[in-house]
Amino acid sequence: MDYLRIHGGAKLQGSVEISGAKNAALPLIAAAILSKKPVTITNLPDVKDIKTLLKLLDNLGAKYHYGSNSATIDPTTIDSTVAKYDIVRTMRASILVLGPLLARFGHCEVSLPGGCAIGQRPIDLHLKAMERMGAEVTIKSGYVIAEAPKGLKGATIVFDKITVTGTENVVMAAALAQGKTTIINPAKEPEVTQLCHVLQDCGVQIEGIESDELVIYGTGGELLEMPQIEVIPDRIEAGTYLCAGAITGSELTVTKCDPSHMEAVLAKFMEMGFGIEIAKKSVTITPAQKIYPVEIVTSEYPGFPTDMQAQFMALALLANGASIIEERLFENRFMHASELMRFGANIQLKGNTATVIGPTKLYGADVMATDLRASSALVLAGLAAEGVTNVHRIYHLDRGYERLEDKLGALGAKVERLQE
């Protein structure tokens, strides 16, 4: 099993190119199921989750070619609508095949999903939406079995709670449905927005993108003519590298990013005293003369993303005073706090709120990753710590960060991948 060894204290400099967004790529790969011909998707990040979903499509009978951050997927050869447990259990986003499979074939069986242990993320909102659209849904032997032999029908879907993958599943299902589907309280994340724009480019009429009411006019079962798709930049990867610059007191530039997707995160950097220079497709962070404590409440886009909470907890260790971080989306997403304490951190947890007392002198330690974003927080703390840090279980990290040790190394960090 691989782990990362970090020799802390090195200053970083230069620029780092941001990869495509994993969370945008996954629904786009699933959407290829709706196409009448092969689909090419470019700017794919070379991470494990992408390979897992492509493997799932392969198991369904689709053919694909993957290489050089690009994949061409041929859905015309799909001959199975059963998404098996062996793959789905490793990645929660596998549930994204539910909507398109059901819309195209009128039947699917999808194993109940697994993935990160950051909290309960039930798929009941997905299933209720499919039932509203005319599907008969049962759960048997750990599988969701959905039937709509006469096709899905447009409906009004009201999400009591904002759900990103739920919105994406309904949007994809509605694209081939009969009539109009209205989603009340949809997710507005850039990854959802890209999916909607791609389907628009295929000829699907969609209104209200980025609003509180999304309206999709389905094709009545007619498959889509999908153009080549370029995945948007990964706003979470960009934010993570900006945190690396911040926590090491370095000037650093992230390129090939979209600053408009990162406004809540950039505002918190500036609140903490860091300089932020924004260009059209890049952001530069400069060191703070004094790092101020910060208050963070995670929320759905355009609020502060839960996927940046762990990284900012690591950064808050160096702030002068008490930072308050409230996690409102996932109940188990403070598991990295106990590992950060191994560096010497003073973190007090009470329910869904963490109080981080700084500034803290950090010392290298052996730590263990518990989920994808927790992994990056431990790497950040290791960059700032005195001495050597070993981050174990980095298979979590490999799910969402492309060549992390290479990119950090090119900036001047002393990071190497080793085997246990």
Residues labelled catalytic: 116
Q: How many residues does the chain have?
A: 420
* Percent of residues in the chain assigned helix, strand, coil, to nearest 5: 35, 30, 35
Distance of CA 190 to the CA centre of its chain: 11
C-alpha span between 209 and 214 (Å, rounded): 6
Residue 106: both structure tokens together: 């009128």
What element of type H or E holds 86? helix 85-88
Phi, psi at residue 116, to the nearest 5°? -60, 145
Radius of gyration of the chain from its Cα atoms, rounded to whole angstroms: 22
C-alpha closest to that of 98 among 83, 85, 86: 83
Strand residue runs (E) in 234-345? 251-255, 275-278, 282-286, 295-297, 321-326
| Residues ≥6 apart with Cβ < 8 Å to 90 | 52, 114, 115
The alpha carbon torsion through 219, 221, 225, 227 (nearest 10 deg) reads: 80
